[in-house]
Structure 1
Amino acid sequence: VYEGEVAYLYCPLFCHPTLYSYSQIQNSSLSLLWYRHTHTHELEQPINLKLHTLHKDREYLWIQPASAQDAGLYICMLRNISSCVKIGVELKVVQKDGECDLKAQPHLNLTIPFHSKRTLTCPDLNKLTLPNSTHSVSWYHFCNSHLFGNGRELEGDDLVIYSMKGVYRGLYTCVVSYQMNGRMLQFTRNINVIVVVPDAGSKVPIILNPASDQIYMVTLGDTVTLSCHVILPHLYEEKQHIWWTIDKKTVEELADPRFSSPEATLASYKDGDEWKERVLNVMDFSADDLQREFNCSARNSRGFNTSRAVLKAELYFPTLELSCGLGVTLALMLMMFVIYHVFWLELLLLYRSWFGSDERYTDDKQYDVYISYARNSEEEEFVLSTLRRVLESEFGYSVCIFDRDSLPGGTITDDTLRFVGQSRRLVVVVSPCSAVRGTQALLELQAGLTSMLHGGSLRVVLIQFKPIRRKIWVKELRRARLALTLIRWKGEKSAPLSSRFWKQLQLELPMRRDTQDSQC
């Protein structure tokens, strides 16, 4: 009840007249008593009917008016000398928002067909006994009191709807006001009006699916769900039924744990007509189930309708397996691509160490590497202290350097051609000084290129010691750059043996099986 309004409590023991009725207890030794159980007392306390707010009327207990302190559990008890029976009623007192409350729970749900006449009577008004007193009833529709005319009128305490329309649906509120013992009292009741289609026509259930041209695709071995959608036309106070049958037996009659069919669920509702769905679940669907007859049926008092579900097995396509396999394959390919892109030098060196051949056993060359460089202090320092040292001491190559290994008194051209011809690789250190005509470095480059062009086994490797503009390269160097590998020295960054420079250089030099490539 709302705070400040009248509340009445009806003793639920009289809900079953075959057990108890108030007229019977008046002629018996039974007495009707009211008790109250509050949170402040562990025991039930008798109701003090001397309070002016409490009034007992037959099987009702009236609280006029109710306050927040009146909330709690009320117990009505029938007792005599030898026995007693009792039952509790919970009273909740809530705040009222204005003259009426749009969020209130309705005391009554009322269905009215379109274009029909219906009289709305305020609930519980007939329970109010007021001798020598008057009362008034105020009506609201969605808290709007201007609702009369155009098909709705007041007749006494009642509201008459002469021709029901869609705009008349919704929440109606009636407020009853009366005077008692010099006090003005009132109570509020809410009626929810639902508009429905008239109870006319065939009203036979309509099965939307399974339809005559509908095919259910099923997968063998899976759990198959068959759905049945039915329109149940509105019928007053009538329960309508939807069920599935398998070979003309219901799921309960079949008693097979593979088949289950939960209760129908409401999909939509319009003007009393219900769209309901009931599913049939078939676990571990087999080829034999394709030969069964699956029917969805619906019935009410107006008729019966049924429809058969046509099933067809779809070819199994291992989508998940293929997707997983393709995903794993792509992931592996991507991972291999990344690994090769980052570690391609290491992979090539590893491959060569496993499957490469040692050239010392296939030729009669004396040197592994012949180093050609410009004769200036900076470049000579790089060749002698860094390049030669690493190639001889760390990698174990036999290195030929003209200024160190040539004997005095020989001809420079003849000795150069002889040394280059006895080497497996010609390493040319490229710098601005090496691109000058008439130098020893240019003679060595020409000798190496000539040997390569005439089918010799010599291979030429270019090391860029310092950047050089291409337009000042000599003709032989420009031609060599197009066909030969150029490895760039980047100063301190290239100094460690694990740097990219030494790995690239080692890849171009002869393989040594008696040395381990610890720097790979």
Structure 2
Amino acid sequence: MWLRKQSVRTGFLLFYFLFPTISEGCCGQKQRRTIADQQLNRYKVVEGEAFMMPCDTSMEFPMKWFKADKGKECGKEFVAEVEDCGAYRSLAGSNLTLHVINRTSLRCFQHSESSAMLLVGEGGLIRCPGYTCYNNTGVVWYKKNKAVSAQRRTSCENEGQLRLCTVYKEDRGVYYCDRQISEQGIPWTFRRAVNVTVVPHLNASSSPQLKYPSANMTEEVELGQPHTLMCEVMFDFEVNISRKVQWFMNHDGDVENTTPLHMEPPQEKQVMLQTIEVTQKSIIKEVTPQHLKHTYTCFAGNVIGNNSVTIKLQNKIRARWTSLIGYPVACFVLVAGLGIILHIKWLELQLIYRSHFQFGKHKEGEKEFDVFVSYVWTVPSAEVANGLARFSKPYSDAEEGCLSTVKMQSSEEPIEMLLPQVLEDRWGYRVCLLERDILPGGAYTNDVVLTINRSRMLICVLSAEYFASDNAVFVLESGVKALLQTSALKMLLVWTGGTSPSFIQPEPPLPKLVQKALKVLPSLQWSTDVSSTAVGSFWISLRKAMPVQASRLASHLERS
């Protein structure tokens, strides 16, 4: 593949060498184009001038030339030095010889030939340095590694000169003129560089404009501290620079009695092609009361005219009591912020404390029920009536106090059916169910409140149907209120059917007290789609959350 590419390149070079083409040039006139695409890999350059290593356009990756362990990438400009002389080789196998010539060895050298200045919007001429000093076989002009004749612009090359029909600001940069010379029968490409600058005009057309400071301005200073006087001025571009900025001190405000101030070197920045911004600074090392009596003038001028602005200094009053006032204010803001947060989160903090860290003691026979279970059926009543929970073995405590894993034969039985059976039949707790243990005919609200007060623990089995039931939500709300009033009651939430504290709010929305309680109360998650190990873990966690049974509590009280 590499030999095929080399043969193709060689064919193209022979074609351009034997059949030079004709192109449009010289702003509409026809000129014979020299062999622009032929690149001999022997270059002579002048020390101190810009140079750019040639590139092989057939390469699919950036080309790099190496000499020993040092490399130079093609397409990047650098200043040629004597140590750059030598033979280079690319990774593709191409060779290049670079010879850097000392300026003193040239037949003729004029420093002015290495630069050119062109006006925007007009025609421009760039001359090839030293063209008349050598026997030339033609000149090819390049900008970077692309021939100017191949670029989309109106130009022509004639007798070592490059003529640009219309100059644009993009034309600035380094141009290279390549001449083919022969020394002792060896062909060389003699490359000279011309640094081209593009200017909008030669002379300024307006006087300078002061950007900062403004007239009659007062700057605050601190006694005993340094202060910088800064003046920013906008100037028109000009080739022969006449712009100047100077700071003066007017004694006692008298503009007739002035003293030039010591200034830092000016900082210049070209804002646009036709505008130069100059920043001039003068530093007062230590401000004294005497400085406050004087005024200060920034003077800016050029060949067109001048402008000036005068300012004065004013002592800055330092706030001595800032710390004495700031610290109490900051403390007040901090305490007030904490108070607001505590006020907003007070209910959640109470529920967390009462449900996790504070537990009351019960006397034997004080509570009629161990657990009050509140739920709403999520399956048809026929299935509930006929469904029975079957267990592989009864629930029991090991001698070490660990709970054995509960394995159910049917995973389709609802938790509303399993929970009362496990608590009552397997674990021996006194369970209260509204539909079973509360006599009908009474007031529902009174029965719920009374039952909660007669129970040691309230378990709410939460589901979408539960939140849709006003009676069930009332039980949950009553339990939260009872928890806030007494430390003896425990509450536990069992989430079912994929519900969680982030469930969608039902219509109408839940009471605020219930919404906050759902976020902080102890809870367990029940799902029939999990493995038997996870189901067993649910029952173990439930057993740990249950209150001590009445018999054990009585014996414990007797021992204490």
Instruction: Report if TM-score (shorter chain) is over 0.5.
Output: no
Task: Tell me the TM-score normalised to structure 1 length.
Answer: 0.42
Q: In terms of Rg, which structure is larger?
A: 1
Give me the TM-score of the superposition, normalised by structure 2.
Answer: 0.40
